[in-house]
Amino acid sequence: MEVRRLGNNIASERAKLGLTQKEVAEKIGVSEKSVARWERGEIAPQATALKSLHGLFGCTVDYLLGLTEERI
pLDDT in tens, 16-25: 999 999 999 9
Rounded Cα distance, 20 and 7, in Å = 14
Rounded Cα distance, 50 and 60, in Å = 9
User: Percent of the chain scored above 90 by pLDDT?
Assistant: 93
CATH class of 3-65: mainly alpha
Rounded Cα distance, 31 and 24, in Å = 9
Domain boundaries, the chain: 3-65
The answer for residues whose C-beta is within 8 angstroms of residue 14's C-beta and 6 or more apart is 20, 21, 24, 35, 39, 57
Determine the straight-line distance between the first and last CA of the chain, rounded to whole angstroms.
19
pLDDT in tens, 25-50: 999 999 999 999 999 999 999 999 99
